[in-house]
Amino acid sequence: MRLREELARQAEQQRLARLLNLSEAELDFLLRLDAQSLRQLRQQTETMLHDSDRELLQALASTAQRLPVSLIALLAEKSLGALLCARIAALLPNSTASAVARRLPSPLLAEVCVLLDPRRLRELAPGIPAAQILAVSLALAQRREYATMALFVDMLDVSILAGVIPQLSDDAALIRIAAYVEDRQRLNALIALLPAPRRAGIIEAALADNGALWPAALSLIGELDARWQREFGELALRREPAQLLEMIRISDEAGLLAQLIGIGTAAEDEAALRGLQQALAQLEPLVFKRLLGATQNQAPPAP
């Protein structure tokens, strides 16, 4: 989908910017590339930086393996910094790297996670205790590192995430994290971890600030199981006709009328459907025509 590709490009741009110690804006010219090309560029850059300092990094990694884990962690915290830690971690055995990670302060470990290649993070994250994962996740949320948090969602057991997701009190942040998650099926299990008021809060957060997050939320809802499409659809449609008109306008501008029709089709609540009917009666003719076109192209929701 177009939104997923755009988010994947943004995630790779963020990782490359961190790697090069640049602002994301300085790499905006790269957004003309697709996500796969950006991923290859980032990986090649990592290889180039690693090769340029290969002897030094290998010497540091070799020395680290002969030191007590507690001393390695102390040196990492006091002397090495996050970038060098991330590059050395790529050369350490998983057991050593995980043992060191368990002794790092959460803010530093969060910064290291941002700088690690996602493939390496996937190898190391299972060796980090659940309590530390929670602390690191909260530190990442404070830094607004949503793409890295999405990697945790993709790779960690749902039982661990069950202790993390409810602690993230910012509903807008949950939308931003979910937008970067690659395994969309995992979102169904994560939504089940949230109480009903939090699920309602997600819709409120999506429609706040003139619906800034509504396109992302609507796109995500369209990929959920029918149960959640119905619930989120009804939550969104229980609004005044003027608010529904605004929702339709935003969806139209984002090219997501088909997704909007999808959640409307999934809804069963009569009050929500009556409100939608009233809003449709007030639509501008051209918007109504595009909505009809989207309706004709809409496939039935997945069971």
Q: Which pLDDT belongs to residue 296?
A: 62
Residue 297's pLDDT is 61
The predicted structure's pLDDT at residue 289: 72
Contact 244, 279 (CB under 8 A): yes
Question: Residue 70 burial by CB count (10 A; 0-12/13-18/19+): exposed, middle or buried?
Answer: exposed
Q: At what angle do helices 196-211 and 171-180 cross, to 10 degrees?
A: 90
- The span from the CA of 187 to the CA of 168, in Å, is 15
78-109 pLDDT per residue, tens: 888 888 888 888 778 888 888 889 989 999 99
Q: Point out the residues of the chain with pLDDT beneath 50.
A: 301-302
Question: Between helices 146-155 and 130-143, what is the axis angle to 10°?
Answer: 150
Q: Which amino acid is at 103?
A: R
Q: Is the pTM of this model over 0.75?
A: yes
For 126-162, the pLDDT digits (tens) are 888 889 999 999 999 999 999 889 988 888 888 888 8
Q: How far is CA 168 from CA 2, 135, 171, 221, in A?
A: 27, 11, 8, 20
144 dihedral zone (left: phi>0; alpha: psi -120 to 50; beta): left
